[in-house]
Structure 1
Amino acid sequence: MSTAIRKRPAEGQEPRVHGGKKPRYAFGSISDYKKLEVLGEGTYGEVFKARDRRTGKKVAVKWVRGNGAGGHGPPDIRVITREAGCLAACRGHESIIEILDVATDAKTGDVFLVMELVADGRTLRESLWRPVSEKGTRVMMEQLLDAARKIHGAGVIHRDFKPENVMVGFFGGLKVGDFGSAMRAKPAGVPYEECCVGTLIYTSPEQLEGNRYYGQAVDMWALGCIMAEMLTGGTLFVAETEEELLAETRSLLRGSWIWSSWRSFRKPGVRS
């Protein structure tokens, strides 16, 4: 199975044939994958474990909800190409989920992203039910920061870093996934269409203030929030609205914010 993200030809352009078999732009067929079990679902659609009928390899398949009845049918192609393109741009990094193919259902028009399956299948959220040691936090944050370096170096902004979007494999290896909110980073001075995307409590101050001229630094803010969770076992912020979160964030930046989880955290040699 080819790992290339295939493109459609320009209007009036003849399809390019790869290896004399099929056009390079043609998507794969979901019939090549046998569905095994559902791994998760949400407003975006569904993620399930599947087996590639041709190779026997197990993969993770993300069904992207479409615009038809029951969520079936072709979704917004811009959303699909954006997510697949961002994943493809970040291919080859050990701490980022690998995209393998984009497949379609010829009968319903449904579109699927085929990705590598993380063996253990747990999310980082499931590992943060209690504080992580300083050493463990350092090991995990090194992986996440290295993944962010790859993502940003590829000209991509993730915009939804959170524990639920990080998979934990055997021996503690982390994999950043869910690029549904990701997009190509815009040049300085060019605004984004929306301010707040992703999950509220990981949203940066500039986004909360309605600034659409943010940059890749919003990912670093979210990673800082994740690091705080690792060290304390609780979320940095507890707000339920943008207004509440902005107030908590401003208090933190002024040095006057003490969130409940921090009361039990003491780092040797550092005054709390």
Structure 2
Amino acid sequence: CSSRNRHHSSPASEVPSPAEMEPDRPIGYGAFGVVWSVTDPRDGRKVALKKMPNVFQNLVSCKRVFRELRMLCFFKHDNVLSALDILQPPQIDCFEEIYVITELMQSDLHKVIVSPQPLTTDHIKVFLYQILRGLKYLHSAGILHRDIKPGNLLVNSNCLLKICDFGLARVEEPDQSRHMTQEVVTQYYRAPEVLMGSRHYGSAIDVWSVGCIFAELLGRRILFQAQSPIQQLDLITDLLGTPPLSAMASACEGARAHILRGPHKPPSLSVLYMLSDGATHEAVHLLCRMLVFDPAKRISGGDALSHPYLDEGRLRYHTCMCQCCYSVPSGRVYTRDFEPPADRNFSHSYDNSLLSVWQGKELIHHFITEHQQGKRVPLCINPQSAAFKTFIR
């Protein structure tokens, strides 16, 4: 990055010496881009730089990227990753990719789970509390994440957690006649209604994913690890039992027939107690409320936060980790609302008005330019730097 500032320079005291600055490096790759750890030249702080390439290949890609960009700028929550800045775009004729700066986190929950690091019950409660706290915020804004998995839950060494990667996120569709894609959620964390081809689904799919992650935190292994979507469905019914017909009302004919022609399976939820010593009665009770086959009977993210299992996680988070409470000489001052919802719904009114890629390019270019108004000195890419040449490779 380079700072576009012709008149001012940052105080030398704000910029660390070269010995203190780690080299820029890639820290993550996804379906829709690459993330690098870089240094913000304005203050010397390490941040994450996400490159969104090939934005304007087609209208679908254009809409998806614009939706994710607007979401990152909309979010204002401690447990949801948001945009700190967006790099200044070039002239519109040369505008092909977008660079977003976010907070740099140290790791993700997948790396923690597969590591030899011990995970205590306190760790699990604090992690789960933050996941559900962030999820309540997203759902209250009308947003479905649609790809909740351990790799999309960023964590720091102090156990602070943020939900990230909104490439598959979209606004919840209240019209049940509107068809929604089934190409969502990594298979191991995919809800039964999606596996069974339901044309419409809601926020319950994210809660199912959190339930799978909860079990994975307890057992240090993936709960439903199958080779195919059909086998995935079979593993779920092995645990939960054969669902009643009412729970398969929205399933496609093929999936319903597959369930009905198989042998009747009784539930075997007692095996959840064998996940680990941390699988107490309270833990398994909450887990069973999340892993319900029928999405209409599955607990919501907001209601899950009220479960007694999370009381200790809430206390620990707000006693020493959150930014919404603070300490004074006489003691701790706690916020009035521990799990605040979004202050408004996320708007997606532009979706149907975008009719061409060029129109989308103009709209995104204008959005970024407008977003930078009144902000700090804007940043842009220096294409001559060695770091950029490595970055684009």
Q: 1:205 aligns with which of 192, 199, 209?
A: 192
Say which of 171, 177, 183 aligns to 2:170: 183
Amino acid at match of 1:200: Q
In 2, the alpha carbon distance for the partners of 1:257 and 1:87 equals 41
Find out whether 1:43 has 2:31 as its counterpart: yes
Deviation at 1:213, TM superposition (A): 0.9
Q: Does the C-alpha gap of structure 1 residues 227 and 97 become closer, same or farther in structure 2, counting only changes over 3 Å?
A: same
Secondary structure of the structure 2 residue equivalent to 1:96: coil
SS at match of 1:48: strand
Q: Does 1:56 align with 2:44?
A: yes
How many residue pairs align between the two structures?
Answer: 235
For the pair 1:173 / 2:184, whether they are aligned, the reply is no
SS at 1:63 equivalent: strand
- Alignment partner for residue 141 of structure 1, among 115, 128, 143? 128
Q: Is the 8 A contact 1:232 1:262 kept in 2?
A: no
Cα deviation code 1:208-267 (max 9, x no counterpart): 010021001100000000000010000011102111111111222215458999755354
Change in 2 beyond 3 A, CA 1:47/1:261: farther
Q: Which amino acid aligns with 2:77?
A: H
RMSD: 3.0
The alpha-carbon deviation at position 139 of structure 1 amounts to 1.4
Return the alpha-carbon distance in structure 2 between the equivalents of residues 61 and 193 of structure 1. Answer: 31
Kindly indicate whether structure 1 or structure 2 has the higher relative contact order, using CA contacts under 8 Å at least 6 residues apart.
Answer: 2
Contact 1:99–1:113 (CA<8 Å) still a contact in 2? yes
1:5: which partner in 2? none
Relative distance call for 1:142 and 1:42 in structure 2 (3 A) is closer
The aligned residue for residue 215 of structure 1 is: 202
**Deviation by residue 1:35-55 (Cα, 9 ceiling, x = unmatched):** 821112233221111223334
The TM-score with structure 1 as length reference comes to 0.76
CA contact (8 A) 1:235 1:261 kept: no
2:158 is paired with a residue whose SS is helix
Corresponding residue of 1:76:
61
1:81 and 1:108 map into 2 onto residues whose CA distance is 14
1:74/1:109 contact within 8 Å kept:
no
Deviation at 1:161, TM superposition (A): 0.6
Other structure's SS at 2:125 match: helix
Question: Are the aligned partners of 1:51 and 1:57 in contact in 2 as well (CA < 8 Å)?
Answer: yes
Question: TM-score, normalised on structure 2?
Answer: 0.54
Aligned amino acid, residue 82 of structure 2: E
- Map 1:95-110 to 2 at 5 A: 95-103=79-87, 104=89, 107=94, 109-110=96-97
> For the residues of structure 1 that align with 2:280 and 2:272, how far apart are their CA atoms?
17
CA contact (8 A) 2:240 2:269 kept: no
Residue 86 (1) aligns with residue 71 (2)? yes
Change (3 A) 1:192 1:88: farther
Percent identity of the aligned residues? 29
Deviation string 1:102-124 (CA, Å, 9 cap, x unpaired) is 33355562212221212xx1111
- CA distance in 2 between counterparts of 1:259 and 1:180 reads 36
DSSP 3-state at the match of 1:41: strand
Rounded Cα–Cα distance in structure 2 between residues aligned with 1:65 and 1:238: 31
Describe the superposition over 1:55-88 as per-residue Cα deviations: whole angstroms up to 9, x where unpaired.
Answer: 43332111113179xx9x9993212111122233
Which structure has the bigger radius of gyration? 2
Q: Distance in 1 between matches of 2:189 and 2:280?
A: 27
Per-residue deviation, 1:189:
1.2
1:227 is the counterpart of 2:214: yes
Which secondary structure does the structure 2 equivalent of 1:127 belong to? helix
Structure 1 residue 101: Cα displacement: 2.8
| Higher helix proportion (structure 1 or 2) | 2
Task: Label 1:158 to 1:46 Cα distance change in 2 as closer, same or farther (>3 A).
Answer: same
Task: Tell me the amino acid that sits aligned with residue 102 of structure 1.
Answer: I
Are residues 262 and 36 of structure 1, via their aligned partners in 2, closer, same or farther at CA, if it must alter by over 3 Å? same
Q: Which residue among 110, 115, 130 is the counterpart of 1:125?
A: 110
For residues 74 and 52 of structure 1, do their structure 2 counterparts lie closer, same or farther at Cα, with a shift above 3 Å needed? farther
**Cα offset, 1:193, TM superposition:** 3.2
Mapped partners of 1:251, 1:191: distance in 2: 31
Q: Answer yes or no: is the 8 Å Cα contact 1:50–1:58 preserved in 2.
A: yes
